[in-house]
Protein backbone atom coordinates (compact mmCIF):
# COMPACT_ATOMS: atom_id res chain seq x y z
CA UNK A 1 0.00 0.00 0.00
CA UNK A 2 1.30 3.44 -0.89
CA UNK A 3 2.14 5.98 1.77
CA UNK A 4 -0.62 8.38 0.59
CA UNK A 5 -3.23 5.59 0.76
CA UNK A 6 -2.13 4.75 4.32
CA UNK A 7 -2.40 8.41 5.28
CA UNK A 8 -5.87 8.67 3.70
CA UNK A 9 -7.00 5.56 5.60
CA UNK A 10 -5.73 6.99 8.91
CA UNK A 11 -7.64 10.22 8.31
CA UNK A 12 -10.79 8.30 7.40
CA UNK A 13 -10.52 6.28 10.61
CA UNK A 14 -9.85 9.41 12.69
CA UNK A 15 -12.80 11.24 11.16
CA UNK A 16 -15.02 8.18 11.74
CA UNK A 17 -13.93 7.95 15.38
CA UNK A 18 -14.52 11.69 15.85
CA UNK A 19 -18.03 11.40 14.36
CA UNK A 20 -18.92 8.42 16.54
CA UNK A 21 -17.55 10.25 19.61
CA UNK A 22 -19.60 13.36 18.82
CA UNK A 23 -22.80 11.35 18.36
CA UNK A 24 -22.15 9.33 21.54
CA UNK A 25 -21.47 12.50 23.55
CA UNK A 26 -24.70 14.06 22.31
CA UNK A 27 -26.77 10.96 23.09
CA UNK A 28 -25.23 10.46 26.54
CA UNK A 29 -25.78 14.13 27.35
CA UNK A 30 -29.40 13.82 26.32
CA UNK A 31 -30.07 10.48 28.02
CA UNK A 32 -28.28 11.31 31.26
CA UNK A 33 -29.61 14.82 31.72
CA UNK A 34 -30.20 15.80 35.36
CA UNK A 35 -33.39 14.49 36.92
CA UNK A 36 -33.81 17.67 38.96
CA UNK A 37 -35.42 20.83 37.64
CA UNK A 38 -35.32 24.05 39.66
CA UNK A 39 -33.57 24.84 42.90
CA UNK A 40 -33.83 21.47 44.67
CA UNK A 41 -30.81 21.92 46.89
CA UNK A 42 -32.58 22.34 50.23
CA UNK A 43 -34.00 18.90 50.95
CA UNK A 44 -34.27 16.77 54.06
CA UNK A 45 -34.80 13.04 54.60
CA UNK A 46 -36.88 11.28 57.25
CA UNK A 47 -38.44 7.89 57.88
CA UNK A 48 -42.15 7.61 57.12
CA UNK A 49 -44.65 4.81 57.64
CA UNK A 50 -43.81 1.13 57.37
CA UNK A 51 -45.61 -2.14 56.72
CA UNK A 52 -44.61 -5.74 56.24
CA UNK A 53 -45.56 -8.74 54.17
CA UNK A 54 -44.04 -12.15 53.37
CA UNK A 55 -40.69 -11.59 55.07
CA UNK A 56 -40.08 -8.05 53.82
CA UNK A 57 -40.55 -4.73 55.61
CA UNK A 58 -41.49 -1.75 53.43
CA UNK A 59 -40.50 1.67 54.77
CA UNK A 60 -41.10 5.05 53.20
CA UNK A 61 -38.11 7.35 52.98
CA UNK A 62 -39.65 10.84 52.90
CA UNK A 63 -37.94 13.71 51.07
CA UNK A 64 -39.05 17.23 52.07
CA UNK A 65 -38.33 20.44 50.17
CA UNK A 66 -37.02 22.72 52.94
CA UNK A 67 -36.11 25.48 50.46
CA UNK A 68 -38.08 28.50 49.30
CA UNK A 69 -38.34 27.49 45.61
CA UNK A 70 -40.48 24.93 43.86
CA UNK A 71 -38.50 22.17 42.18
CA UNK A 72 -39.11 18.87 40.42
CA UNK A 73 -37.46 15.47 40.88
CA UNK A 74 -37.77 12.35 38.78
CA UNK A 75 -36.46 8.81 38.93
CA UNK A 76 -34.92 6.23 41.22
CA UNK A 77 -32.85 7.34 44.20
CA UNK A 78 -29.54 5.81 45.17
CA UNK A 79 -30.11 4.27 48.62
CA UNK A 80 -27.43 2.88 50.93
CA UNK A 81 -27.16 1.84 54.57
CA UNK A 82 -24.21 3.14 56.61
CA UNK A 83 -22.61 2.26 59.91
CA UNK A 84 -21.95 4.76 62.71
CA UNK A 85 -18.78 6.03 61.02
CA UNK A 86 -20.54 6.72 57.69
CA UNK A 87 -19.13 3.66 55.90
CA UNK A 88 -21.50 1.87 53.53
CA UNK A 89 -22.67 -1.54 54.74
CA UNK A 90 -23.94 -4.04 52.19
CA UNK A 91 -25.02 -3.31 48.66
CA UNK A 92 -27.03 -0.32 47.52
CA UNK A 93 -30.74 -0.74 46.92
CA UNK A 94 -31.76 -2.09 43.53
CA UNK A 95 -34.39 -0.26 41.46
CA UNK A 96 -37.87 -1.63 42.23
CA UNK A 97 -40.30 -1.03 39.35
CA UNK A 98 -43.44 -1.16 41.55
CA UNK A 99 -44.29 2.43 40.51
CA UNK A 100 -43.82 4.15 37.17
CA UNK A 101 -41.23 6.92 36.98
CA UNK A 102 -43.04 10.27 37.07
CA UNK A 103 -41.99 13.87 37.61
CA UNK A 104 -42.74 14.99 41.17
CA UNK A 105 -43.14 18.73 41.79
CA UNK A 106 -42.15 19.83 45.29
CA UNK A 107 -43.42 23.21 46.44
CA UNK A 108 -41.67 24.65 49.51
CA UNK A 109 -42.57 22.26 52.34
CA UNK A 110 -43.72 19.66 49.81
CA UNK A 111 -42.97 15.97 50.31
CA UNK A 112 -42.15 12.98 48.13
CA UNK A 113 -41.19 9.42 49.04
CA UNK A 114 -39.60 6.22 47.87
CA UNK A 115 -40.66 2.84 49.24
CA UNK A 116 -37.60 0.95 50.47
CA UNK A 117 -37.95 -2.84 50.74
CA UNK A 118 -35.93 -4.61 53.44
CA UNK A 119 -36.06 -8.41 53.20
CA UNK A 120 -35.73 -9.63 56.77
CA UNK A 121 -32.29 -10.83 57.89
CA UNK A 122 -33.56 -13.98 59.74
CA UNK A 123 -34.76 -15.35 56.37
CA UNK A 124 -31.16 -15.69 55.11
CA UNK A 125 -28.21 -17.92 56.02
CA UNK A 126 -25.68 -16.30 58.39
CA UNK A 127 -23.34 -13.89 56.63
CA UNK A 128 -25.69 -13.24 53.69
CA UNK A 129 -26.85 -9.82 54.89
CA UNK A 130 -24.77 -6.82 55.89
CA UNK A 131 -24.12 -5.71 59.43
CA UNK A 132 -26.99 -3.57 60.66
CA UNK A 133 -26.78 0.01 59.46
CA UNK A 134 -27.39 3.01 61.70
CA UNK A 135 -28.29 5.53 58.99
CA UNK A 136 -29.61 5.75 55.46
CA UNK A 137 -27.80 7.69 52.74
CA UNK A 138 -30.08 8.66 49.84
CA UNK A 139 -29.06 10.36 46.59
CA UNK A 140 -31.91 12.19 44.90
CA UNK A 141 -31.63 11.61 41.12
CA UNK A 142 -29.59 14.40 39.55
CA UNK A 143 -28.08 15.69 42.79
CA UNK A 144 -24.52 14.94 43.87
CA UNK A 145 -25.06 15.60 47.58
CA UNK A 146 -26.64 12.81 49.61
CA UNK A 147 -29.33 13.14 52.24
CA UNK A 148 -28.69 11.21 55.47
CA UNK A 149 -31.01 10.29 58.34
CA UNK A 150 -30.85 7.87 61.29
CA UNK A 151 -32.17 4.49 60.14
CA UNK A 152 -31.55 1.02 61.53
CA UNK A 153 -31.79 -1.84 59.03
CA UNK A 154 -29.85 -4.58 57.24
CA UNK A 155 -28.99 -4.76 53.55
CA UNK A 156 -30.03 -8.24 52.40
CA UNK A 157 -30.61 -9.70 48.92
CA UNK A 158 -33.76 -8.02 47.58
CA UNK A 159 -33.00 -4.63 49.22
CA UNK A 160 -34.66 -2.20 46.81
CA UNK A 161 -36.20 1.25 46.35
CA UNK A 162 -39.03 2.44 44.12
CA UNK A 163 -39.06 5.49 41.85
CA UNK A 164 -39.78 8.68 43.79
CA UNK A 165 -43.50 9.35 44.22
CA UNK A 166 -45.47 12.42 45.31
CA UNK A 167 -46.51 12.87 48.95
CA UNK A 168 -45.29 11.45 52.23
CA UNK A 169 -47.67 8.50 52.17
3 and 47 housed in the same domain: no
Are residues 72 and 93 located together in one domain of the fold?
yes
> Are 131 and 55 within one domain?
yes
CATH number at residue 118: 2.60.40
Share of the chain above pLDDT 90, in %: 72
pLDDT of residue 119: 95
- Quickly state the pLDDT bin for 14 (edges 50, 70, 90): very low
Task: Please provide the average confidence, as pLDDT, over all residues in the chain.
Answer: 83
Q: Across residues 94-113, what is the average pLDDT?
A: 95
Contact between residue 104 and residue 73 where contact means Cβ atoms under 8 Å apart: yes
Q: How many domains does the chain have?
A: 2
The helix/strand/coil state of 87 is coil
pLDDT number for residue 164? 96
Same domain, 45 and 87: yes
User: Range with the lowest mean pLDDT among 28-42, 51-65, 139-153, 155-169?
Assistant: 28-42
What domain range is 5 assigned to?
1-33
- Span 23-70, pLDDT tens digits: 333 333 333 344 566 678 899 999 999 999 889 999 999 999 999 999
Per-residue pLDDT at 6: 54
Beta bridge partners of 61: 47, 114
In the chain, DSSP assigns E strands to 36-38, 43-53, 56-65, 71-74, 78-82, 88-89, 94-96, 103-106, 111-119, 133-139, 147-153, 160-162, 165-166
Determine the pLDDT at residue 2.
61
What pLDDT was estimated at residue 169?
A: 80
At 148 the pLDDT is: 97
Amino acid sequence: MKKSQQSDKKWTVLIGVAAVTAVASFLLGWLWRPAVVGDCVSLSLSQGSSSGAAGTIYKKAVITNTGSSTCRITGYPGVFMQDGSGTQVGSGAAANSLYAVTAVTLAPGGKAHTVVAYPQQPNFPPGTCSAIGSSMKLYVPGLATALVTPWSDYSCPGFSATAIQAGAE
